[in-house]
Structure formats: structure tokens, C-alpha cells
Chain A
Amino acid sequence: MTQAPITRAAEATPPTVARKIRGLSDRAIAWIFVGPTIFLLLAINIFPLIWTINLSFTNFRANRPNREVEYVGLRNYERILTDTDIWLNMQATAHFLFWTILLQVLIGFALAYLINKKFKGNDLWTTIIVLPMMLSPAVVGNFWKFLYQPQIGLFNYIIAFFTGRDPSSFEMLGQVTLAPWSIVIVDTWMWTPFVMLICLAGLRSIPDYIYEAAEIDRASKWRQFWTITVPMVMPFLMLAVLFRGIENFKMFDLVVQLTGGGPGSTTELTSINLKREAFEKWRTGYASAYAIILFVTVFGLASIYVKALNKVKER
């Protein structure tokens, strides 16, 4: 192909804007296209992160900007890691993470398995099940607070109806023993559909011929389930766990609206505790160190997990 017809055709196209841009090489266009995105991420994600690291070595307080800022070295980190209260927050977070993920995986997988039986109208019902995860967690948390009201709430009424207990005899949000479960219930209600959708994608990725071959080999349904279905869905399931794990480690909006961290600090997850330190007690330097510790924890755990996940995929 010669250059001439292209040039001639190009000259035949009238737009003047195009002519100016014509001079740009693909390389220039590539940078013009990627540039704004990278700039925005640098300005609003990376620069703040570096600033946080810097602040974490100081005793800066954002509500007293005129006070002289001192560099205190690693003292903030030392204080956080030796603080027993923070370990309580970590335990609350761990409880929340463990139970939400366990319940969502069990229910989500079961639902996906049932939906994959392709009964009539399954896509409409799938959509209805998905609705909760599309909604604003803060608003959801707020109206679940209404459902959890001891005397008038629908949740208490239904539990009382089935167990025969007095609906005002227990307070889901007010009792130390029940509050951690109240947030697990709402999160499970909200996010089970997410795990379900990913499992469904996994189930649908299994080609029919594998089951047909198993059928010819006279493998029982039970055996097919454990030797074909479960291993084939496992990588998907593990990814769903990763996403839910990261999201729930960051959990803030839903729980703040439901319990505000109470009663006492039984449901004070790390993000809520961090918000308190940073925006209520205004210990900016200390909170920055706290944020970095959380960030490193998520990153570290996620990378270890991804390594394990890749091993499962290879099998």
C-alpha cells in the first residue's frame, strides 16, 4: 500500500480541527488520552497518600492549624500497636469479617446453585435478590435501625412471632451480645447477592460436556457436585471472598448508621474508630499513622490471599 492515496484522501476531508490534530503522533495522542486520568489519580489519590505518610510522623492536629508541628518519629505507630483498645476494634472487625463472609459464601453459593437450575423466570427473581446491594448503605443502615426497634420494629416482631418471646425483651442494637450480630445480619442481607452473582458466573462457565462425561461414567450426582461443581467454582468463590473481605475491612457507612459503633465499642470497627480519632478527637497525626497501618494490613493480607488464589487457579 502506498502513502499517496491516504494523503490525497486526507486532504479531501475538510474539517479544520482534524487537520491540527493530524500532526500529532499516536504517541502524543496516547499521552493526551491517559494524561488527565493519571493526573487526577496523582492529585486525589497518591498525593494524599504521601501526605498521610508524612503526617503520620507528626503530632499535627487539623483543628489547630496554627500550632507548631513537631516530628515525633515512630511514636504514633508505637502507641497504636501497643494500645489494647485498638486490639478490641480489630477483634470486632475480625468477628464482622469472619461471619459476614462465611454466611454470604454459604447462602450466596446455595442461591446460585438453585438459580442455575434454570427454572422459569429465574432472571427476574435474580434481579429482585440483587436489589439490596444496589442501594445506599447509609440509607439502608438508617432504615434497618427502624426495623430493629425493640417494641415497634418489624424484625423484632417477626422473631417474636416465631419464637414466642416478648418483642421488647431484646434489643438488637442496644445489647452487647446482640449488636455485633445485628450488623452481620444487615451486611449479609445486603451483600449475599454479590457472592451469588459471582458464583453464578462460575457455575455458568462449567461446560456441559464435563457433566455428560461424568454421567457416562456413572458418577453419582453427589460425586459430580464435589468433584466437578465445587472445584470449578472455587476460584470464583475465592475472588468473591477477596472483594468482600476488602470491602468489609473498609466498612464504615452501614455500621455507623446502624449502631454508631455502640453499645460501648462492641461494634466499633476499625474504620469507625479511625474516623473518631481523625474527625472527632482531631488527632490528625495519630490517625494518619493508624490509616497507614490499616492500609498496609489490607494490602498485605490481599497479596497473600491473591498468591493462594493463583495456586488454586493453576490446579
Chain B
Amino acid sequence: MSGFSVTEPGARTKWVAGSLVILYALITMMPLVWIMLTGFKSPADAISYPPKVIFDPTLEGYVNLFTTRTRQTDEFLAANPPETWYEEIVRQYDMVIAGPSKFGERFLNSVIIGFGSTFLSVFLGTLAAYAFSRFRIPLADDLLFFILSTRMMPPIAVAIPIFLMYRELGLSDTHLGMILLYTAVNISLAVWLLKSFIDGIPTEYEEAALIDGYTRFQAFYKVVLPQAATGIASTAIFCLIFAWNEYAFAVLLTSGTAQTAPPFIPTIIGVGGLDWPAVAAGATIFLLPVMIFTVALRKHLLRGITFGAVRK
């Protein structure tokens, strides 16, 4: 039906509502924009008063983030002229690059643990969700509630025995240990989200496939999985974001080889105090993928967040 509708807001209402929301959005973006700008400032510009909006951009923060540096004597510096642009940046402070910093490793750990645990939770979650959706499982409701209730425990409370358990099993500070732990945390959400997606797929398709001679397993693999693909993808995004952002377990259970970026970034320290441009550069590199993801996949993500509330 076209034409006048009493529920459609007037043009002026829309204008006022739009301006207020945009104003809030701009205020909310300020800290994020500021941290990205700070990543391109020199340490002096980063701590200047009043705060500088216009400044000479430099990659110093990024160079400092990825390298370790040492101070050298004038003779040494004169004898070894800088060969690369990043070496040149460091030379302004009479320093030379001594080697790569640990940021690259920590970032890689975040990637490995994030994707590893996401794959495992979505894989196990899909199987469990399919079973809960299609088969009659004794005590299914109790099991589902049990699966969800594990999310209510404070991470620190769980961390005490896991710390002890991992120490016994040799899983402390290992990628496998962290992948298993994040999978255990994520799987409850994965099962609930995926079950709702699979519930939405009519059973007739599978029944037809079964009659055509597919085994139950084939029917699951060839008929249900392709139809659940969108649901699986958006569940995967949620699992990935959780694992990517997690801090409490990471800071308590890892210290070196398997440490992820969130506990590492705040520990970046420059010469003579906190190196804010380097910290900001690290935060930018770490947060930007999530932001781009969010904007690109907003349709699926926003639906997923409200899912829990709308569903029950």
C-alpha cells in the first residue's frame, strides 16, 4: 500500500532523529579516530599540549612497534650510514635497529589461536546443533541449558583450576591449550546460534535425500550443510571476534610462546616512558581488521547480536 501512513515519521522528525544519531556516532568515533591518528605521530606530537590534530605524519610508531632498538656511539653511527627508510627514522635518536620486536609473533599467535578455536567450535558446534535439532536426545533441554550456563562463570573463577590442570598436562602457554580453552568458551554460543539456523531449514529436504538413498551422514553433509552456510559463517565471525579480543585467560595462562596480542600491546614500552605512538600503532593494527569486518558484514552481525534476546 502506498500513500499516507500514520506510522511513517514525518520528514522533520527524521531529520532531527538523524542529526542526533549522527552526532552520537561522531562522538563515539572520536576515541577510535584519535588512537589511529596517534599511531602516525612522533612521540613529541603525541604528548603535546594542546592535543595536535594537524601534525607531520611519521611511521615512527609503526617502526618502533615492530623493532627493538639500541643506542649507539657517534663513531658507530658515522661509520654505518642508514640503508633503509626505517633505519633512517631510528637514527634521529642516535639509535640502530637491533632486531624485530615480539609484536609480529604475538599477532601471529592471535591469528593461529583465533582461527584454530573458531574452526573447532564451529565444527563441533554444527555437529551438536544438528543432533539437537533433528534427533530426539534424552534430556535435550537440560543439556542445552547446561551448555549455555557454562557461559555465566567468571573467567577468573574457571582460570584457577585450569591453570593447575594445564600445569599438570603441560598445556600451559601452548597454542593447543588456548585453542581448546577458547573452543570450550565459544561452543555454547555456537551450539545455540547454529541450532536456531538448522531449525529453520525444513526437514523435507533431508527426508527426500534419505529416500533417494543418501545415508544420514550424506544427507547432513550434502543437503543440510550448504543450506546452513550463512548461519555457520555468522557464528564463525562471533567465535573469531571473541577469541581475538579475549584477555583474562590469555594474561593468566600464557606468558611467552602462546601469548596473544591483547596482553602484549599494553606492555609496549619505549625509552623513557610509555611509547604512545607505538602502542597506538599496535592497537590500530589489532583493531582495524575487526572494524572492517563489522562494517562489511553488518547485516549478519547485527542480527546475530540481537538473536539471543529475540529468540527466547
Residues of A within 8 A of B (CB): 1, 6, 8-10, 12-13, 15, 18, 21-22, 24, 26-27, 29-34, 36-38, 40-41, 43-49, 51-52, 55, 62, 111, 114-115, 117-123, 125-132, 134-139, 142-144, 146-147, 149, 151-154, 157, 167, 189, 194, 197-198, 200-202, 205, 208, 211-212, 215, 236, 239-240, 243, 246, 249-250, 252-253, 256-257, 271, 274-275, 278-279, 284, 287-288, 291-292, 294-295, 298-299, 302
Contacts and interface: CB of A to CB of B under 8 A. Distances in A.
Interface of B: 5-9, 13-15, 17-18, 20-22, 24-25, 28-32, 34-35, 38, 46-51, 124-125, 127-128, 130-132, 135, 137, 143, 146-147, 150, 152-165, 180-181, 183-184, 187-188, 191, 210-218, 241, 244-248, 251-252, 261-263, 265-266, 276, 279-280, 283, 286-287, 290-291, 293-295, 298, 301-302, 305-306, 308-310, 312
A226 B19 CA distance: 24
A298 B306 CA distance: 22
Nearest to A246: B152
A34 B127 contact: yes
A125 B51 contact: no
A143 B31 contact: yes
Contact of A119 (B18, B183, B266): B18
A119 B302 contact: no
Nearest to A147: B31
A1 B310 CA distance: 40
Contacts of B290: 134-136
Given A138-B245, A152-B47, A294-B157, 7 more contacts: A37-B191, A51-B165, A117-B17, A152-B48, A250-B155, A256-B247, A271-B154
Nearest to B217: A21
B213 A12 contact: yes
B14 A118 contact: yes
Contacts of A211: 6-7
Contacts of A271: 154-156
A154 B309 contact: no
B294 A37 contact: no
A250 B6 CA distance: 45
Contacts of B25: 125, 128-129
Nearest to B132: A34
Contact of A120 (B14, B181, B216, B309): B14
Contacts of A144: 31
Contacts of B251: 138
A279 B252 contact: yes
B302 A127 contact: yes
B160 to A, nearest CB: 5
A27 B135 contact: yes
B158 A33 contact: no
A275 B248 CA distance: 10
B241 A134 contact: yes
17 contacts: A6-B210, A12-B213, A27-B135, A30-B135, A37-B191, A46-B150, A49-B161, A55-B160, A119-B17, A130-B301, A131-B295, A134-B290, A136-B244, A139-B262, A139-B286, A246-B152, A253-B248
